[in-house]
């Protein structure tokens, strides 16, 4: 991560120096957005920022548009960054609108960005502010990740979930998951704590009666959201109480208690 932090720092130094020079800044701005969208180490981070609204919709659109235009100009098929997964698209619908304009109206992403230049949100100053904030958020996330990674496991007690009270005991905190014991986050932890070390596939979780009705079969195209957002809600509650953001390791197909927090 030190090499990555060094690269980002140099790019930010150039952007800061050229933020009032329109042509130079625009080139550096495009370079920065393509870099962060293409860097594997930042994929999970950017996905988390998008889901937590740390990246505004307008700025997220710019990242997607720039990456799309860049990859298209190179004739590449992977025109959308990896961090922009189905759950992010479900929340923002950026790709749907982008492809509609691009295919039916002939409006390219770069044309749309050029049309925004008169808006204070999208001039050099506004764009520099967005990039600077994202850069600071990335550095903070890297620092937190390194602190968690270097923190001795012996200082942690393995998490315990009291299903009768819907209380999660973790990091010397008592975290209330559900007041009524009748919520998706509550039922999710009941399932995960049957085997804390297991990575649970969503279809396995769905088999539990709490997560479906009328014996409906798991549909990966739609039903994953119910399980994913239950896990996301648990992570929010844990973060609020302990600052740990990744108590549950989430993907769109499976979920587990983060092994870093198990004894």
d(CA 236, CA 246): 9
- Over residues 144-161, the mean pLDDT reads 70
DSSP 144-162: HHHHHHHS-GGGSPPPEEE
- Over residues 213-227, the mean pLDDT reads 82
Q: How confident is the model at residue 122 (pLDDT cuts 50, 70, 90)?
A: very low
For position 138, what pLDDT does the model report?
Answer: 92
Verify that 110 and 146 share a domain, yes or no.
yes
Nearest to 62 by CA among 110, 133, 118: 110
Q: What is the pLDDT of residues 32-51, one digit of tens each?
A: 999 999 999 898 889 889 88
Of the three residues 135, 150, 165, the one that is the final residue of a domain is: 150
Does the pTM of the predicted model rise above 0.75? no
For position 107, what pLDDT does the model report?
Answer: 45
Task: Give yes or no for residue 81 having a pLDDT over 60.
Answer: yes
Give, in order, the Cα–Cα distances in Å from 93 to each of 57, 64, 82.
Answer: 10, 11, 15
Task: Give yes or no for residue 91 having a pLDDT over 80.
Answer: yes
The whole domain housing 32 covers 2-150
For position 146, what pLDDT does the model report?
Answer: 79
CATH of the domain at 207: 1.10.10
Verify that 6 and 125 share a domain, yes or no.
yes
For position 215, what pLDDT does the model report?
Answer: 64
Verify that 223 and 103 share a domain, yes or no.
no
Number of domains in the chain: 2
Helix (H) or strand (E) holding 23: helix 22-38
Verify that 41 and 146 share a domain, yes or no.
yes
For position 176, what pLDDT does the model report?
Answer: 95
Verify that 146 and 157 share a domain, yes or no.
no
Q: pLDDT averaged over the chain?
A: 82
Verify that 180 and 231 share a domain, yes or no.
yes
Verify that 48 and 124 share a domain, yes or no.
yes
Verify that 163 and 238 share a domain, yes or no.
yes
- Over residues 232-242, the mean pLDDT reads 94
Of the three residues 84, 116, 150, the one that is the final residue of a domain is: 150
Verify that 76 and 174 share a domain, yes or no.
no
Verify that 175 and 207 share a domain, yes or no.
yes
More confident residue, 59 or 112: 59
**Low-confidence winner among 20-24, 63-67, 88-92 (lowest mean pLDDT):** 20-24
Proportion of the chain above pLDDT 70, given as a percent: 82
Q: How confident is the model at residue 98 (pLDDT cuts 50, 70, 90)?
A: low
Task: Pull the structure tokens for residue 200.
Answer: 């649970």
Strand order in the sheet with 160-162: 160-162, 167-170, 173-176
Verify that 75 and 168 share a domain, yes or no.
no
For position 72, what pLDDT does the model report?
Answer: 80
For position 2, what pLDDT does the model report?
Answer: 87
Of the three residues 101, 129, 150, the one that is the final residue of a domain is: 150
Confirm if 148 and 244 have CB atoms less than 8 A apart. yes
For position 67, what pLDDT does the model report?
Answer: 87
Give, in order, the Cα–Cα distances in Å from 99 to each of 37, 38, 61, 94.
Answer: 19, 20, 12, 9
For position 154, what pLDDT does the model report?
Answer: 47
H helices within 81-221, ranges in order?
86-92, 94-100, 109-115, 124-150, 184-192, 202-206
């Amino acid at each position: 991560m030190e090499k990555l932090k060094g690269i980002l720092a140099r790019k930010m130094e150039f952007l800061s120096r050229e933020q009032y020079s329109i042509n130079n800044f625009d080139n550096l701005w495009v370079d920065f957005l393509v870099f962060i969208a293409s860097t594997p180490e930042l994929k999970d981070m950017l996905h988390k920022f998008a889901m937590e609204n740390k990246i505004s919709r307008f700025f997220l659109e710019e990242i997607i548009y720039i990456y799309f235009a860049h990859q298209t100009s190179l004739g590449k098929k992977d025109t959308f960054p990896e961090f922009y997964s189905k759950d992010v698209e479900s929340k923002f619908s950026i790709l749907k609108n982008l492809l509609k304009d691009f295919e039916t109206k002939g409006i390219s992403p770069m044309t749309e960005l050029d049309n925004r230049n008169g808006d204070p949100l999208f001039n050099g100053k506004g764009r520099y502010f967005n990039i600077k904030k994202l850069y600071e958020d990335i550095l903070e996330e890297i620092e937190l990740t390194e602190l968690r990674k270097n923190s001795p496991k012996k200082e942690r007690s393995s998490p315990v979930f009291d299903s009768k009270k819907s209380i999660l005991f973790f990091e010397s905190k008592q975290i209330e998951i559900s007041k009524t014991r009748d919520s998706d986050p509550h039922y999710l932890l009941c399932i995960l704590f049957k085997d804390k070390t297991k990575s649970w596939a969503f279809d396995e979780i769905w088999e539990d009666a709490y997560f479906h009705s009328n014996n409906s079969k798991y549909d990966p195209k739609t039903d994953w959201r119910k399980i994913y957002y239950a896990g996301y809600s648990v992570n929010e509650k844990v973060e609020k109480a302990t600052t740990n953001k990744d108590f549950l390791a989430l993907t769109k197909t499976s979920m587990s208690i983060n092994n870093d927090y198990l004894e």
